[in-house]
Structure 1
Amino acid sequence: MAPTLHTWAGVLSFVIFLLFGLPVDALPRKKTISNTANTATSNTAAAGAAAAAGKISTATDGSTILDKTVTIDGLSIRYKISAPADQFTAASGVTGGTAAANAAGANGLNVLLHGDGGQSFFDFPNQAVQNNLMGVVVLAPNKNRFWGGGSGLERTDGVAHAAAVNTLIQDQLSKDVAFDPANVFFTGVSGGSLLLSGFFMPTFGATYQTGVELNCGALTPQVAVVDGANMIANTKFHFQSTQDELASLQPAIPEAISAYEKLATSAGLTAAEIGALQTVDNTPNGGGHCGFDGKGFVSGVQLMATNFANVMSADATGEVTGIGNVLNTVVGNEALQFSSAT
C-alpha cells in the first residue's frame, strides 16, 4: 500500500527528533584549535627567555646581580654582573631594567677573573658598585675552572680564553647592562692574574688603557704585546702578593714586574712616570697564598676587592686596612722578598 500523507508526516517528525532531541555531545563536532599547543609554546618561550636572561639575585650593597651563560667562540662563558637595577637592559630580564641595549652608561666595570678552581667566582668579592665601577666576575670555561687552561704557570689555552673575555666585554655585556666602555678595569686572582698579565693585557690592554690589579699571581707577557707604547703609558698596574706566597709564583711575580717595567722604559717613560703607573706590595705575611689579611684566601681576596678604589682609582690613597700603604713604586722594588715557600 502506498504511503499516505499521514505516514510521511510521522517519518518527518521522527527525523526531527533525532536531529534535535539527542544530547549535543552525541553529534559530530567541527574540530576546534586546542589551546594546549599554544599554552605549551608560550611556556617554552617563557622558559627560553628566562634561560637567556639568567638568574637574578641581590648583591651585598643592594644592587642587582644577573647570572648568565653565553657561548663565545665555542666556549661556554658564565658571568655575573652587579649593577643598579635600572642600568640593566629590558632584554636582560631584570625587573626595573630600563637601559637601551648597546647604550653607554655612567658607570664603568671592574671585571674579575678568579683563581684556579673558581672560588672567587662564586664568592663574587667585587659585587658592590664601587667608585662608579659595577662588578663583573667571569667563570673560566673548562672543567677545572683554570683561566688559560693547562696547569701551574703553563696556560695552554691562554690566547683563546683572553679573546673570549674581550669579546664578552666588547660584544655581549652591553646587551645586558649600560656601562662606559672607556672605564673598564680588571682584577686578577691567582690564575686569573696569570691570564691577565700573560695574555689579556699584552693583547688587549691598549684597547682599554685603564688599570689592572694583579693579586697573588703574575706572568711575563706570553704573547706579542700589541700597541705596547700606548698600553703601558696609559695603564695602571698593581702587583699584590704575600711574603709566604706559593713557591711556584715567587720567581714568576718579580719576573713579571721587571718585564712590565721594561716595557715602560722602552716606551720612554721616566722612573717617576713608571712609579705612578706601576706599583707593588708584598708585605702581608702569615695568610699564605692570597691571604692579604694574614688569615686566609677568601678573606684576603675580599680585603683587596673592598679596597679596590683605594688602590686603583685616579686619586687612590693606597691605604688598605691591615696592610698600610701598598702603592710602592716597582722601580727599585723588583726583587720581592719572600719569607717562606708554601
Structure 2
Amino acid sequence: MKAFTILCTILVYCTFLSRADALNRRQRGGGGASPTFKFNSAEAKAQARLAQSKGLLGQSRDGDVKVVPMTAEIDGFAVQFKVAGSDLDLKTAAIKGAVIHASEQGSVEPPTSTGKGINLLLHGDGGQSFFDFSNVREQQGLLGVVALAPNDKMFWGGGAGNRRTDGVLHSKLLDELITKVLPQVINMDSSKVFFMGISGGSFLLAGFFLPAFAEKYNSGVILGCGGLPPQVKPSSNFGKTLGTMRVHVQTSTNEQDGIQVTIPLAIQAYIKLAQQAGVDNQILGQKFTADLSPKGSHCAFDGKGFVSGVQLLADNYANIILGDGDAIGIGKVATSVLDNRQKFASGLPLTKVVSRARRAQS
C-alpha cells in the first residue's frame, strides 16, 4: 500500500512538472514579455500614463493617506511606482507624475529616527495588485509601496512562466529603487525594508532578488502563491540570513499545477542553504514558515477570488511577519517548513520534493 501511494505521488508530480514545462513553452511561443522599458521611450511613457490614471490613486480608502504615483529613472530604465502615506510621511518631492532620478545621495541618507519602514509589494503577472495597491494600509510602522514591472505584459523578471529572463536586471532596479529613489520621496527608515510577492512577483523575489539582496535588508517577506529556487548564485551570507530574516510562504490547496512543483523546490533549496550555513533547525523553523490551508485556487486566500484573496493576505501582513502568525480570515499559518505536513489537493506535499531516489525505488 505504501509503495502504491508513493507511485501515485510520483505520477502526479511528473504530470504537474510536464504541465509546468508546457506552460513555459506556450508562453515563450507567445513571445513572453518585451524587453525592459527604457526611460523616455514611448512604451515607458504609455505605461506611466496608465499607472497614473488607473487603480487606487489620490486619497486611499482610509481617507487621510495620500497615494502618489511616480516614475523612477534608474540606470536608463523607467520603473513606475506608488507610495502611500500622510503629509508627515512623504517629502515634498512626492508629487503625482513626478520623475525621480536615482541618486547616490539617496543611498547614503541615514535612517531617520522619525521615519517609517516600508512594505514593498511586487504584483503578479499583469499587474493587478499594483493597480489595486493591496498593501496601501500602514501596518506597524510600515508604509505601503508598490512597483510596476517595466515591460509590456507587466511580468516581474520578464520572460514568461518559470523562466524570468530579466530577473537579474529587475532585481538590481528594485534594489536601487529602494536605496536611491524612495529616500527622496519618503521620510524613510532604511533599516526597515520589508517585502511581499504575489505569483510572478514571488518568482522574482524567491528566484532572484532574495538570493542576491536578502542579507542587505535582513527583514521579512511573504511569498504569496509563487516561488522559485534560486536562479542566481546566492550571496555569500544568504544561507545565514535565513536564520535571522522572517520568510513565510503562503499558498492554497488548489494552487496552479506548475506552482505546486516550484514552491516545494524553492522551500527545499532555501532549507538546504540555511543548513549548509549552520543555521540551527529550531531557529530556522521559527523564521521560515509555510501554509496552504486556504481552500481556494491560485492566490484565492479567502476561498473566493484572486483580488479579494490577495487583499486578505496583504491585510494580514503584520500579523504574519511581525506577529504570531494568526491571520484573520485564514487561521494560524506560521508552521515551520521543517515540521509542515500539509499537502495540496493533488496529494503533492507543500514542503517536500519527490526525489529521484524514491522515484527509482518505485
- Shift in Å, 1:230: 4.1
TM-superposition CA deviations, 1:196-221 (whole Å, max 9, x none):
00000000111100011000001101
CA shift, 1:340, in A, is 4.2
Q: 3-state DSSP class of the match of 2:294?
A: coil
Q: Which residue of 2 aligns with 1:126?
A: 135
Aligned partners of 2:299 and 2:346: how far apart in 1?
14
Paired residues, number:
280
Matches within 5 A, 1:47-86: 57-61=58-62, 62-86=64-88
> How many Å separate the matches in 1 of 2:185 and 2:115?
15
Counterpart position of 1:337: 343
Extract unaligned runs of 5+ from structure 2: 1-48, 97-104, 348-362
Counterpart pick for 1:244 among 241, 244, 254: 254
1:212-227 maps to which residues of 2 (within 5 A)?
A: 212-226=221-235, 227=237
Instruction: Give 5+ residue unaligned stretches, structure 1.
Output: 1-50, 95-99
Output the aligned Cα RMSD. Answer: 1.9
Q: Is the 8 A contact 1:203 1:223 kept in 2?
A: yes
Asked if 1:159 corresponds to 2:168, the answer is yes
1:61-95 superposed Cα distances (whole Å, 9 cap, x missing partner): 2211110012212321000001121221123238x
Amino acid at match of 2:59: T
The DSSP-based 3-state class of the residue aligned with 2:88 is helix
Question: What is the distance in 1 between the residues matched to 2:346 and 2:336?
Answer: 23
Q: 8 Å contact 2:89–2:115 — kept in the other structure? A: no
Amino-acid identity (%)? 43
1:293 Cα deviation after fit? 0.4
Structure with max Cα Rg: 1
**Separation in 1, partners of 2:187, 2:276:** 37
2:94 paired residue among 92, 95, 98: 92
How far apart in 2 are the matches of 1:164 and 1:317? 32
Q: How does 1:134-283 map to 2 (within 5 A)?
A: 134-226=143-235, 227-283=237-293
Paired amino acid for 2:60: A
Given that 2:158 and 2:167 are in contact with CA atoms closer than 8 Å, whether structure 1 keeps it comes out as yes
One-letter code of the match for 2:230? Answer: P
Q: How does 1:34-45 map to 2 (within 5 A)?
A: none
Q: Is the 8 A contact 2:171 2:208 kept in 1?
A: yes
Q: Distance in 2 between matches of 1:279 and 1:233?
A: 12
1:323 pairs, out of 321, 330, 334, with 330
Structure of greater relative contact order (alpha carbons < 8 Å, 6+ residues apart): 2
TM-score of the two chains, using structure 2 as the length reference: 0.74
